[in-house]
Amino acid sequence: MMFGNNKHSVDIMHLVRKGSIGAEIGVWKGVSSAKFLAKKPKELHLVDSWSTVAYEESDEHGTYQNYLDRYAQLTGGNSEAEFAAFYEGVYMGVDATLGRDPAVTIHRMTSDEWFESFEGQLDWIYIDGDHSFNGCYRDLCNAVKVVKSGGYILGDDYKWAFQKYGKDGVTQAVDKFREVYNMTPMQEGMGSQFSIQVP
């Protein structure tokens, strides 16, 4: 969950081709999703649980209670019931604005569940879900299994050198991924977007 919207995803849109098959992990309100859809993909898979389930074991905010407290102002309270009602509204908004497009399939589940069930191959995937080290690294490793050779793993929140913005968990996960898989991330634009081409 986030307070703002991902304004910098525009920096990776040149890598999304018309007629491609892609996925977005971490949809939130669908701001980046709408940009992807404008590129006229053949298939666009939108993956988000729109629930607290993804954060129950994530250490992105330190503890689960810290997560509930952090976003209480946005959701109207720090109880799971209030979060559930808020997320339902966000999901319904995405479904109403994007879910009717024949190219779009919405998967209301965790990224782990989606990766386990997905059987196709992608031209690209955009990772912007769990920003903890473990969650992001798991998404990156799973992405390698579904992105075809020559395709792209794209993402947000990497803290490039001499840059103020970025998330530590994502940065550490991308660095570990580069070390283990010997794939070099490239900065897209002047912000926190990254691309990794699968060999």
The SS3 call for residue 147 is: strand
Tell me the C-alpha distance between 121 and 146, whole Å: 5
Domains and CATH numbers, the chain: 7-197 (3.40.50.150)
How would you write the pLDDT of the chain (199 residues) with one tens digit per residue?
455 567 789 999 999 999 999 999 999 999 999 999 999 999 999 999 998 877 777 777 888 788 788 888 888 888 888 988 999 999 999 999 999 999 999 999 999 999 999 999 999 999 999 999 999 999 999 999 999 999 999 999 999 998 888 999 999 999 999 999 999 999 999 999 999 999 9
116 φ, ψ to 5°?
A: -65, -30
The letter for the amino acid at 185 is: P
